[in-house]
Structure 1
Amino acid sequence: MNKQTILWVVLMSFWGNKLLAQENANKKSFDDLTIQQWIHQSRFQAVPVLDSQAFFTFYEQLGYSVSPARKMFSLFRVLWNPQIAAKDRVRFGIYLNETYAQENIPVPNELIRTAIQNLINTTK
C-alpha cells in the first residue's frame, strides 16, 4: 500500500466514525455484506450495479438508513474491501466521483478525492 492509500484509509476511518456517531443508534446501518448482496442481486437481475435509484431502493427495502452521509461512507468502504472484486471497486469509485455533486455532499478533503482516483487507477 502506498502512503496516499494509507492516509486515505486513516482519514476515511476518522471521518466515517464521526458520521456514524451522528446516526441514530436505533437504525440499521450499511455493511459490506449488504453491498456484496447488492452486487450479486444486480448481476442476477441484470440491473446496472451503479444504477443509484435501484441501489438505494434496495437498501431502503432492507430497512437501512439511507442518509446521504451514510450512503457515501458505505460506498467508500467498498473501495478498500479486498473481498469485493477489483472491477466492482473500480465501478463504485467511478460512481463516487460522479455523485459528489448529485448527492450535495462536500468532499471532506481534496486528498481523499485524489486517493480515490489513485485507487481506481491502480485496480484497473
Structure 2
Amino acid sequence: MNSSKFSEQPIVLAVDDSIDNLTLMECQLEAVTSCAVVTATTGQAALQLAQHQLPDLILLDILLPDLSGIEVARQLRQFALTAKIPIVALTALARDEDRDRILSAGCNDYLSKPYDLDDLFEVVTRHLPQHSLL
C-alpha cells in the first residue's frame, strides 16, 4: 500500500472517460475529505497510474473507451503492488448480473450512477477507515 497510509493524505485514483464526471468527483472529494485525487480517462492510463502512484483507493468507471473497468480490475488484481488496493466500481450498469460480474472481477464495492455526495463519501470512508478523512 501507499506510504501515505500513516503519514500523508490518502490518494484516490478516480477513473472515468467523462472529464465532467472526473472534475465533479475530484471537487467533491477534495471539498469534504483530506484525499489527494489523481485522475485517468482510460483503462491503460488507470493501470499505469495505479502502478506508479499506488493509490489507497480506486474509483473505477466500468465503461471506458479502451479497456473496460472489469478488465482494469482483473489486471490490477494480478500485480502484487496493486492486488490489495480497494476498487469501487462507479457505473450506470445496474442489473444484478452486471453487479455480480463487476464484483467477481475484483472490485470490492459498487456505486450506481448517478450517485450523490453522501453515497460517494460513505463508500470512500468505508474503504479508507485507517485514514482521517476530515
TM-score range, shorter-chain basis?
A: 0.3 to 0.5
TM-score of the superposition, structure 2-length normalised?
A: 0.30
Q: Give the structure with the larger strand fraction.
A: 2
TM-score of the superposition, structure 1-length normalised?
A: 0.32
Q: Give the structure with the larger helix fraction.
A: 1
Q: Decide which structure has the larger Cα Rg and report it.
A: 1
Q: For CA contacts below 8 A with separation 6 or more, give which structure has more relative contact order.
A: 1
